[in-house]
Amino acid sequence: GETPVIVALGNFSDWLRTLGVPKNKVYVWGNSAKFDLGILEAAYVACNMDYPIDYKNERCYRTLKNLYHSIKPDPFQGNRHDPLNDALNQAAHASAILRKHFSVVKEI
């Protein structure tokens, strides 16, 4: 898109604050915590902004899907490799895995 990175990061930080959850209680998932969340953190550093996620609360969708490989994702919705569509599809699959495993997680 056309949104400058610093603005997008500021919007993301603002959105996280609207959740009303302390930084140490915000959990963020990436399709590889080291890759996706590493890029996110590097962008915050490059923009000289505070990274709004406690490193202990980074989660890895890739690990989750490999632990529960028998739970298949629904057919992909939207355009592949579009960041928003990728994130929505991954979130739906992670939610399905967690619902099946814990039987208490609400659907997204």
Tens-place pLDDT, residues 5-34: 999 999 999 999 999 999 899 999 998 878
CA dihedral 72, 75, 80, 81 (to 10 degrees): -30
- Reported as a single tens digit per residue, the pLDDT across 40-50 is 999 999 999 99
pTM above 0.85, yes or no: no
CB atoms under 10 Å from CB of 105, counted, come to 14
Nearest-angstrom CA–CA distance, 54 and 4: 24
Does the pLDDT value for residue 104 go beyond 70? Answer: no
CB atoms under 10 Å from CB of 66, counted, come to 9
